Each structure stands twice: as C-alpha cells, then as structure tokens.
Chains A and B, each alone.
Chain A
C-alpha cells in the first residue's frame, strides 16, 4: 500500500516510467514469511567445491558429517561414523539410505567421489584445495560406500568431511548446483541478496522457517539501521554497534564465544623482535582486560595461546594476568640488559627497543588493538611504531615487521596451527613468515596430525601450547565473541563456539531447526 501511494504521488512527474512498467499498483511484494538475515559480505561462490562454507553451515548442501554446537561430529549423509583402518590411511563411509538432492536425484557414492575429486583437481583452482591435500584418492566401490585413501594418517579428515556434496558432473561456476541440505536455492541478485526455500524432503525434517533471504550490507551501521527498521530479522554486528539492541523488547542479542583470536605475529629473525625477552616483556606489559572492556565492549576474553579456552583442547596452564604486569615486564628487561635511555626507550648494546607493527588499514578492530599495544609497550620502554597498510603492502614486509593477525578454529587443533608453527612453512605466505622453527614442535604437530588415539592427541596439543607459549612465538591479545542480533526469540537457537570465518555458519548453521516464536 505504501509503495502504491508513493507511486501515485510521483506518477504525475514520472508518468513515462510508470507507464512503461506494467501494473505498478499491484501492491507490495509481501515478504510474508521470509526470514531475512543481514550479512556483511557476499559469498565469493555458492559452490562447495570452490570453497563455499566447507566447515558446515552451508544450508544448501549436506556433507558426509555435520557438526553439533558442542563441536562433536554427527553423521549426515553418512549413515554412521566412518571406519578408519588400523594404519590410519583408509577411511570408509557408508551413505544414509534415501537421501535426495533438491532436483530429486538420489545422493550416491559417485557424487561424493566427484565432489572431492573436483576439489582436488589442480586445474579447477579451488581455493580450499590446500586443506585436503592429505587425500590421495577417493573411490566409490558401490553406490553406498565411499573410501578415502590418504597419503599419510590424518586424524582431522573426519572434521573436513563437513564439506557439502554436489551432484556428479555439476559445473563449478555459474548458478549453484542442487544440494541435499535443508534449504534449496531459489534466486540470487548479485550484490544484493540470495533467496532460499525450505527443502520439504530434507532427510532430517523440513525446516520450520520456510523462506530464507540472505541480504548483503557491508556497512555495519547500515545493517544496524536496517535491523532497527525491521528489514532484517537477524544480523551480525560488531559489539559496539550491537549495544543499542541490548534490553530492547522482542530482540535477543547473543554473544557467542569463538576461537577467533587477534595477536601479534613477530618476525623472529630480526634483532629486537627476535629477542624472547622483548616478546615476553611485551606480553606482560599488555592490559588485555582493558582491550576486552573498551575495544570489544565486553564481547571477548583475554588470549594467551592459539587454542580457545572454550574448547576441550585448551591447556589451562597457558594463561596469564588479564590486566598485565608492567612492573614484572620492566624488571625482566632491566635484568636482561635493556636499560632506559634519555627518551625513556630502552637500549641494549647500542640498539633501541623499537619495532614496527603493521595492521590492515581498513580493519578498525585491528587498528584499535595496535594503538593499545603501542601505548602499553611505551609504558615499559619499548617503542612500537604503527603502520596501517593494505594486505598487498603488508605481505612483502612480514619477515621484517610485526603484524596484527587474526586466526583460530575451534574444530581441530591441527587446523592452521600446523601451518603456522611447522618449520616446513617458514617464510611461506601468511603461514609462518616469522620463520619459527622448533624441532620439538614439528614433531608434536606431526604426531598430532597422524595419531588416531584421542588421548595421545590431547597430550600432544597440550605440550605444543606450552612450548609455543614459553617461546613467546606470538603475543596473543584477545579472543572475540561474535555478536548476533535476532528479532523475537526463536526456539532452537543453539550457540556453540564460532570459528574465524562465520558467514552463514556460526549461529545460523542450524537455522533449519529453529521454530519462530509467535
């Protein structure tokens, strides 16, 4: 009605236009039952093979396994948990009976085989191929059986099988292929939104929210405004922008813990940042509690290592004083021969305690963290010079200057940590540019990756966290909480521990089990 009135008001002026477009007064296209989620960035692709939501939460697609909010694995397309051979190099899945793709075709082992082979095919340029390189071959001996043959024992393989399965032979670019997930793809307006519709034939039951719109709005304030205006039913916001929704009737704010950390990645071959005393002192000087309270508006927790305290893999010994201990930092530096100079900056053997700290210029959070680090460091006599740069300018400087970096996955401690701390990745891209090399850590990471024994792995990653903490490879600052704002209070919202990337994952991963509260 409002639209009709607006058109009526303006039709005199824009008569040409309204005449050209038929039936302008048919009224508003009723959004009706559509549930609109406001997301900050558009998906690069909607094809799992090309990297769409491989860790679950893809909504359109179903993987062999799915993940519960408590991070445990649950069979999805697979009928039961997979069987791993004694040498750890063969993993066999049996498929669930009667599961169909959205176009009605049954899901067979050949489709699973195609999905993984397309992913591994070098010519396809899949950006996530590097995560699956442990796979030697995928075979489908019959319609219900899938066998993964591995190059080396790889315990996290089961975690990786949350990747969505696509029908055999489906193209890799263009409109997304049909999946077997709870929602079917309806339409996409590039740069605007994606419309999904509940899959009535979903094997685990049809979703109660039958129509889902994923709308894209990059700007945080735009998303907050559109949430206020009622255009969005749910959205993700930075903590400060979400604060206005606290205590509002019929709006629920969820602050979900995550393994997503921010920390300082050091070039370890440089004279100042290569000195463990400097890094230890810096870690002691920093007031992480203040960062959480002011920069994150309370939505976070102090970080002292790469593994989130909200997951079972965390080593409780890896901790420290949240508010820092500047006195201990000063003593540490003094004892190591770093004496304060005229300007208050410490000097040792004629070398000033100074280094550059880079951050991606467009990232406000990292900028604010970098500013706080510089201010805390100055209080103990270390001069941190800030450099806000573009990623393309940051990359060539990573072996010389420190960098505020973010990473973190709650799924398996092998994820990312292997690449970040193994000497094989020293100096390679963004993984280990500082050149950290510790044979003991290499060994632990290899054991952790290969062992099929849960108890062994648990111990290995505890030891690993301890060594990395003692070596002060990074100075970890904070773990973030992701803030979700949801209209009403739908039943079935199950917060878990989020990863660094969240898109439709995170809280929206199981929106098909939500029931709207009316």
Chain B
C-alpha cells in the first residue's frame, strides 16, 4: 500500500517536470524528427560516421561557431531545472513526513519487531523520546533536513543499519539491474520497432504493434509473476528469485547473471511499449521521405536505407523519450525487485514503507525523486547538445 502512494506521490510530479521540454506530446514528437531530416542526410551523404549515435556529436561539431552559445544554453537549462528541483524535493519529502505522521502504524513497534510485546513500556517510551517522535512533525522535519546537509542520513530503524550503508549495499544491485534493463530496452525496441516499420502492415508488424499495446496494459508485477510461473515453475530454466542460489555463500558473476535474466527482461519488456511504437512510427514516416525514396532509387541496399537513413533520423527524439521513461522505470524497479526478491534499494523502500522507517524511507524517496529529475535533465541536455534548434523548446 504505502510504496504505491509514496512513489505515486513523486512520480507524476516528476513526469510533469519533464513535460515542458520532453516531447511527451505527440505533436512535438512528430515535428521534431521531421525537421532534422534535412541535416541528417548530409551526414550519410558524406560516408564518415559509421555508427548512428555519434551523428548528433557531428551535428554539434558542424555548428561550431555557436558552441559558446550552446554551453550557455545547457548551463541555463541545468540551472533552470535545479531551481525547479529544490522546491520539488522539499514538497516531496515534506509530504512524505506528513503522510508517515498520519499513518496509524507505530514505528517503535516495527523497530522492536517480535520483541514488541515483551518490551518494558518504559523502554518503548524512552526510544520514542530518543527518536524525537514526541516532538512536532515540523521540528522532526527540520532536524532531518539539518542532518541531511551534514551528510548524516541517520540509521534505518527496520534494518538496524546506517541508511548510508543500506543504500551503499543495495544501490549497486539496483543500478546493475536497471542499467541492464535500459540497454536491453533500448536495443530491443530499436530492433523490434524498425522491423515493424520495415515490414509495415505484415503479420509481424501487427503482432508487434498488438503486443506492444497489450504489454502497456499489463501491470509489471503481473508480468513478473507470469515470467516466474513460465520459466521457473513450468520449465525450471531460471531461478525464481534472489541474488544467488540459496546454498552458495559467495557472489559469483555467473550465478548473479542467471538470477538477473528474469527481473531485467521483465523490467525492460514492461517499459518498452511506447519506445517500440515510437520507433516504428517514426521510421515509417522517414521511409516515405524524399531522401529515402531517393536513396532507394540510387540502388542502395535495403539494409543501408533502413538503418543508415530512416532509423538514424528517428534516434534523436528517442533520447528524450527515454528520459521521460525514468519515472516508470523507478516504479517498475520497485515492483520487479519485490517480485524477484532482488536485494536492491527499490525493494528496500517497500520494507521501509511497511515498517514506517522514516530515515530510510526519506532517503530513498529523495533518491527516487533525484533519479527522475536527473533522468529528464540528462535527456534534455543530450537533446540540446545534439540539436541546437531545440533550445527554443527546452527553455522557454
């Protein structure tokens, strides 16, 4: 219950924060790729850049005279976003404190766990006082913010460890899983989306498009449970959960990789629908453009036409779309880590919420909000650098 509300609290906010510049609106999506078309064919026309991605850099290099202006624009964008992030972070953390205060659960009892009923009431009161739970919520919040600036995140009450240690132990696993998911999601949706566009109207295209819509409608945890049922219970191919096998006492790469396959794939698949649909749409649009038709007429190979010309011009806005997926990725990671007992920060936030573990919950909420803000910012910076003309859209 709690994690859903707490993440629901900041995630929509994060999405909105991304909206002004992120081409979330379909209209923006269409117009933006249409414009660089003139620029992009110039790249492949000079057969220099072998990979699709460096092309934005090349474009930036092409606009060298304006590079000073570009730096200023990026700086302005970052400053603007940071200025916006401060009130956002305050609102999110203050909201979380207020919610936790209003919760009917007693954090001291959660801290004591099984010992709650056998603990002297005097000891319970003493702990309550030591934590400052008897003080007004505003004062608790102020203390927490003060400690935060001194780098003191406090001790997690449910895990009985310093919050910094909890995060240090678990963040790498979350980063490993989510970054693998991002890579898989990126590669997969480019491949599948391009395939669908190239064979537009075929059964494969219909299967991919229909699948993408169905996938978007399926909740992440349901996908996860389905994957466990099929691949672990029915076929027994993959482990159902955990980081390593129960009997093993060391963390070995192969073992972890085997345990990673299901959670990473589920996370990637669950987030990829819009990307696939976007790539398909945009490649189809490009394939009808004159320069592509021209390229085909010149007798270039089909592969070259699709990959070098059509896909390439679709890549730029793709970056921003990816940035806008960060909030969903965060919520997705929470559910996936919980379903697969993956020991990351996201699953820790579920525990923290259930145990009314203020210090840990606050730190994780902050981290989640930061991830969303930074994800959007990075995408926008990348976009601005890649295509200077977008600045008018990015900073109003």
A interface residues with partner B (beta carbon < 8 Å):
3-4, 6-7, 9-10, 14, 16-18, 20-29, 31, 34, 36, 41, 44-45, 47, 50-51, 122-123, 125, 127-131, 133, 173-174, 186-187, 189-193, 195, 211, 213, 215, 226, 231-232, 391-393, 405, 407, 416, 419, 428-431, 500-501
- Complex CA–CA separation, A128 to B14 (angstroms): 43
Task: Say which residue of A6, A27, A128, A232 sits within 8 Å of B238 (CB atoms).
Answer: A6
> In the complex, what residues of B have CB within 8 A of residue A6's CB?
237-238, 258
Evaluate whether A213 and B114 lie within 8 angstroms (CB atoms) in the complex, with A10-B238, A16-B187, A20-B180 already known.
no
Interchain CB contact (< 8 A) of B253 among A24, A191, A226: A24
Q: Quick one: given A17-B257, A174-B165, are A29 and B111 in contact (CB under 8 Å)? A: no
Question: Within the complex, which residue of B126, B243, B252 is in contact with A26, where a contact is CB–CB below 8 Å?
Answer: B252
Q: Which of B259-273 contact A (CB under 8 A)?
A: 260-261, 264-265
Cα–Cα distance between A21 and B251 once the two chains are bound (Å): 12
Asked whether A50 and B121 contact (CB < 8 A) given A191-B343, A211-B249, the answer is no
24 A-B pairs with CB atoms under 8 Å apart are A3-B254, A6-B237, A7-B257, A9-B237, A14-B261, A17-B261, A31-B245, A34-B248, A34-B249, A41-B114, A123-B130, A125-B126, A127-B115, A128-B115, A190-B166, A213-B246, A391-B116, A392-B104, A419-B120, A429-B120, A430-B116, A430-B117, A430-B118, A501-B114
Give me the 4 closest cross-chain CB pairs, A-B, nearest first. Answer: A31-B247, A130-B120, A429-B121, A29-B248
B183: interface (CB < 8 Å): yes
Q: Mark B167-194, 1 if CB is under 8 A from A, else 0.
A: 0011000000000100110010000000
Residue of A nearest to B159 (CB): A190
Shortest distance in angstroms between A259's beta carbon and chain B's nearest beta carbon? Answer: 13
Q: A10 contacts B343, CB within 8 Å?
A: no
- Considering only CB atoms, which chain A residue lies closest to B242 in the complex? A192
Answer whether residue B162 sits at the interface, using C-beta atoms and an 8 A cutoff.
Answer: yes
Residues of chain A with a CB closer than 8 A to B159's CB: 190
- Are A21 and B115 touching (Cβ within 8 A)? no
Residue among A24, A173, A226 making CB contact with B246, cutoff 8 Å: A226
Decide: B257 and A122 in contact? CB cutoff 8 A: no
Residues of B within 8 A of A7 (CB): 254, 257-258
A212 to B, closest residue via Cβ: B249
Could you tell me which B residues sit within 8 Å of A by CB distance?
104-106, 109, 111-124, 126-127, 130-131, 155, 158-162, 165-166, 169-170, 180, 183-184, 187, 237-238, 242-258, 260-261, 264-265, 341, 343, 347-348, 351
Among B170, B247, B254, B261, the most chain A Cβ lie within 10 Å of the Cβ of B247
B289 CB to nearest A CB, Å = 31
Residues A195 and B119 in contact in the complex (CB < 8 Å), given A17-B257, A21-B257: no
Question: How would you classify the secondary structure of chain B's contact residues: helix, strand, loop or mixed?
Answer: helix
- In the complex, which of the residues B162, B238, B250, B257 contacts A24, with contact meaning CB atoms closer than 8 Å? B257
Residues in B neighbouring A26, C-beta threshold 8 A: 252-254
* Contact for B112 among A17, A127, A231, CB less than 8 A: A127
Bound CA–CA A47/B160 (angstroms): 9
Chain A residues with Cβ under 8 A from B180's Cβ? 16-17, 20
What's the least CB distance linking B133 to chain A, in Å?
12
Shortest beta-carbon distance from A165 to chain B in Å: 19
Indicate whether A29 sits within 8 Å of B252 (C-beta atoms), given known contacts A17-B184, A191-B347, A428-B121: yes
Query: In the bound complex, do residue A34 and residue B247 qualify as a contact, i.e. CB atoms below 8 Å apart?
Result: yes
Instruction: Give Cα A339 to B246, complex, Å.
Output: 61
Give the chain B neighbours of A231 by CB distance below 8 A: 246-247
Residues of B within 8 A of A17 (CB): 180, 184, 257, 260-261, 264
Tell me the bound Cα distance from A22 to B251 in angstroms.
13
Q: Which residues of A contact B106 (CB under 8 A)?
A: 392
A434 to B396, CA, bound (A): 68
Contacts of A127 in B (CB 8 A): 111-112, 115, 119, 123, 127
Contact: B115 with A189, CB < 8 Å? no
Task: Tell me how far the C-beta of B395 lies from the nearest C-beta in chain A, rounded to whole angstroms.
Answer: 36
The CB with the most chain B CB atoms within 10 A, among A10, A22, A416, is that of: A10
- Which chain A positions have C-beta within 8 A of B162? 173-174
Is A173 a contact partner of B120 (Cβ separation < 8 A)? no
Residues of A within 8 A of B238 (CB): 6, 10
Which B residues lie within 8 Å of A405 (CB)? 117
User: Which residues of A are found within 8 Å of B119, using beta-carbon distances?
Assistant: 127-128, 130, 429
Q: How far in angstroms is the closest Cβ of chain A from B171?
A: 12
* B161 and A173 form a contact (CB under 8 A): yes
Q: Which of A16, A122, A416 contacts B183 (CB 8 A)?
A: A16
- Would you call A21 and B256 a contact (CB within 8 A)? yes
Report if A28-B245 is in contact (Cβ < 8 Å); known contacts: A16-B183, A127-B115. yes
Question: How far, in whole Å, are A231 and B123 apart by their CA atoms in the complex?
Answer: 40
**Known contacts being A10-B237, A10-B238, A391-B109, is A44 close to B122, with CB within 8 Å?**
no
Bound together, the chains give a CA A272 to CA B113 distance in angstroms of 33
Report chain A residues within 8 Å CB of B257: 7, 17-18, 20-21, 24
Instruction: List B contacts of A51 (CB < 8 A).
Output: 115
Do residues A25 and B254 form an inter-chain contact, with CB atoms below 8 A? yes
The answer to whether A29 touches B255 (Cβ under 8 A) is yes
CB contacts (< 8 Å) of A213 on chain B: these are: 246-247, 249
Q: Which residues of B contact A131 (CB under 8 A)?
A: 120
